[in-house]
Amino acid sequence: MQRRLSTEVEISRAVHEALEGDFTYLLGGDAGRWWAFVGERLEMGADELMVRIDLEDDSSGPWFMWLVFSVVDCGNALSLIKVSIPDPEGKPEAALAIPEGREQVPYFVLR
């Protein structure tokens, strides 16, 4: 299956636009599912959410990139607060793991 975000340029553009508040390129056709996920998690009291972007590298295989969002403005807005990219050379097991300290944060999978 072809991944929608597969090159550095595509990933960089998606993250940059999300930082600017535009999630269109990042989410593509998954926008409806994302906002439903956000709504459900906010109703359950979540104050942070994550997006896991599934990626694959020819040399190191599959890995995940994580975007961490904080709920702000009394639950009416999200702010992208962190982009977590694993260190496959220093900690290869981190490439497929939830970021340390965020194990309980609900996440949305974007392929």
- Cβ proximity of 108 and 52 under 8 Å: yes
**Structure confidence by residue, pLDDT tens digits, 44-76:** 999 999 999 888 877 777 888 899 999 887 767
Cα separation, 103 vs 1, whole angstroms: 28
Phi, psi of 6 (to 5 degrees): -125, -10
**Structure confidence by residue, pLDDT tens digits, 94-107:** 778 898 899 999 99
**Structure confidence by residue, pLDDT tens digits, 7-44:** 788 888 988 888 888 888 888 888 899 999 999 999 99
* CB burial of residue 69 (10 Å; 0-12, 13-18, 19+): buried
1 has pLDDT over 70: no
